[in-house]
Amino acid sequence: MKKLAELFITFAKIGAITFGGGYAMLPILQREIVENKKWGTEEELADYYAIGQCTPGVIAVNVGTFIGRKTAGNIGGVAATLGVVFPSVVIITLLAGVIDYYSSLEWVGHAFAGIRVCVCVLIFNAVIKLFKKAIVDKKTLAVYLIILGCSLVLKISPVVFVIFAGIAGIILKVKIK
């Protein structure tokens, strides 16, 4: 029961302080889950994130479910999932009644513009950390460059890129440690 409470509280804190969605949550998840709690490795977090992108639902919720399940079984997945969504449900419920009024205020628009810039920095930092762990040799760099090029040119589902990368990893016998 203590582990379930810890999962719920940890993910509730993450959910409460993360602005900008799943991508902005990555550095916070990395710090809390990998560095502080040691519930997973950076590689596992990257894998969960990739799978979370390819499955229906919010990425952060999917990642929370994976980590919770790994840590404490199915009920741990439920505890982590409820934890990560709890703050949003409470905050959105409270804001829903007044958001129309306040969203038209000029200073609110400026605040949101500043928050968006900050979220871009958080995402960029997370990408740099993931890049350093994922690109371990020339083969992984080649897969990265191919997928990057294709994603810039082709308008196809990210699922296709993830499947391609998985197949490429198998074919190239890439060992990611």
pLDDT digit of tens for each residue in the chain (177 aa)? Answer: 999 999 999 999 988 887 666 667 778 888 888 999 999 888 888 888 878 777 777 777 888 899 999 999 999 999 999 999 999 888 888 877 777 777 788 888 888 889 889 888 888 888 888 888 889 889 999 999 999 999 999 999 888 998 898 899 888 875 654
Contact 82, 5 (CB under 8 A): no
Q: What pLDDT score does 55 carry?
A: 73
Q: Identity (one letter) of the amino acid at 21? A: G
Which runs of consecutive H residues, i.e. helices, occur in the chain? Answer: 2-17, 22-29, 42-54, 59-96, 99-103, 106-134, 138-153, 158-172
Task: Return the pLDDT at 75.
Answer: 97
Query: Closest Cα to residue 55, out of 42, 45, 67, 66?
Result: 66
Query: What does the pLDDT read at residue 7?
Result: 95
Q: In the 8-state DSSP scheme, what is residue 97?
A: T
What local confidence, expressed as pLDDT, does residue 147 receive?
Answer: 94
Q: How far apart are CA 166 and CA 113, in angstroms?
A: 37
Query: Do residues 8 and 80 make contact, with C-beta atoms less than 8 angstroms apart?
Result: yes
**Placement of tokens 């799943």 in the chain:** 22
Answer for the pair 137, 174: CB distance below 8 angstroms, yes or no: yes
